[in-house]
Structure formats: C-alpha cells, structure tokens
C-alpha cells in the first residue's frame, strides 16, 4: 500500500489467528482484506482489488461481499437472500499446499448458472448444495485417506445435511441448520478427534 502511495504511515499489527494456516478457509486473505477496508476505506474499487489479487490471492474479492461464491476467478455470485447455517469445522494435523493440490487437478465440474430462486426455499437450497461437490476433494482423499473417514464421521452426526472439504483442504466441515444440534455434534467429534482443531461457525 505504501509502494502504491495509498498510505504514508507505518503500523504495528498484531494478528490473533483463530483460523489455522493451510486450512483452506481463506484466513490469510481475509486478514489482508480487513486491513484494506480499515486503512483504505473509500479508496477501494475494482481496479484496486484486481491489483492486490495478483499479490494476495484470487479469492480476495470474495471478502468484500456479504454472502456469495466465486463463479470464476473474476466474478462473484452474490446471494440476494441470506441463509443462516451452522458449520462444524475440523482440521486434521497436516497441511495442504493450494498450489500443489491445484497442480494435480486434471478436470473440473461443468459450469452451471446459479438460480437465485433456490434461495427462497431453504430445503431447495440445501438440496442444491448437497448435490454439488468439491473437485479437489478426491485429490486430497487419495493423498490423505483420513479425509474420507473424517467426512464420513461428520456426515453420520445427527442433523448433518452433508459433509465436504473446504477449498484445497485440509479442513472438513458438516452443515447444520440447528445450532444446538451442531453443538452436540461438535462435542462428540471433539471427543472422537481430541488432537484436531475443531470449531463451530455460522454464516454471516
């Protein structure tokens, strides 16, 4: 930011990492996005985000939206209606290199247009989500078979609609619509996997 003459001051910044590194949750990128919002405020525009993406990561623009997903590396589908879900997150004790995992991918799912009407019904939206997949998950499962077992254990918890791996891994998650049931699943999985990082999150 100083090199681009967007700021002049120097800062001492302390980051408390609640999200583990190499988790596939965009923790580092979201840290950078927060600092941009805080220090640059009204100076932020699409051209600026494009410049910073090449330095920080292609998911940077996602952290300037409320709810949505990256359709491709340059565009985001924003949800016109928010849905509240609870997610139990579990990180095994190994790291996944995003660059390495992507380099092993040979094909990806066919692109499809997202229908905003699905958001009007929570059940239809859940059905849509559960039928989708993470194209990188199979690659990580082959390299780390524990991922497959972990996803099965999460899915078998009462109230879990589906389980999946985040991005290029290694965090796995289960989606719930009831907070109390999600907490019960969290406690059971903590007992089952005492050495793994486990947390409960909510869509915002």
- Give the tens place of pLDDT for each residue, 56-95: 888 898 898 888 877 766 678 888 778 899 999 999 998 8
> In the predicted model, is pLDDT for residue 23 greater than 70?
yes
- Burial of residue 93 (number of CB atoms within 10 Å: 0-12, 13-18, 19+): exposed
Q: Could you tell me the domains of the chain?
A: 1-77 (no CATH), 79-202 (3.30.70.890)
170 upstream amide cis, omega within 30 of 0:
yes
Calpha distance 94→122 (Å, rounded) = 34
Calpha distance 147→49 (Å, rounded) = 34
Calpha distance 33→203 (Å, rounded) = 18
Return the DSSP state at 73: S
126-185 confidence digits (pLDDT tens):
998 898 888 889 999 988 999 999 999 999 999 999 999 988 888 999 999 999 999 999
The kind and range of the H/E element at 102 are helix 98-103
Strand duo 197-202 + 86-91: pairing: antiparallel
> In the predicted model, is pLDDT for residue 31 greater than 80?
yes
């Amino acid at each position: 930011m100083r090199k681009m003459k967007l700021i002049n001051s120097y800062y001492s910044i302390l980051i408390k990492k609640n999200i583990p590194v190499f988790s596939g949750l965009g923790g580092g990128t979201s840290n950078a996005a927060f600092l941009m919002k805080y220090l640059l405020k009204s100076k932020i525009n699409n051209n600026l985000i494009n410049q910073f993406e090449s330095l920080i990561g292609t998911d940077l623009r996602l952290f300037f939206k409320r709810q949505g997903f990256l359709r491709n590396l340059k565009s985001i589908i924003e949800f016109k209606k928010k849905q509240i879900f609870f997610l139990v997150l579990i990180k095994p004790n190994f790291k996944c290199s995003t660059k390495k995992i992507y380099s092993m991918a040979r094909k990806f799912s066919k692109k499809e247009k997202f229908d905003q009407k699905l958001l009007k019904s929570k059940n239809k939206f859940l059905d849509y989500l559960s039928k989708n997949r993470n194209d990188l998950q199979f690659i990580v499962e082959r390299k780390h078979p524990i991922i497959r077992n972990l996803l099965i254990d999460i899915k078998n918890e009462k109230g879990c609609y589906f389980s999946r791996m985040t991005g290029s891994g290694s965090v796995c998650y289960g989606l719930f619509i009831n907070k109390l049931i999600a907490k019960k699943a969290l406690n059971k999985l903590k007992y089952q996997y005492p050495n793994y990082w486990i947390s409960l999150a909510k869509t915002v």
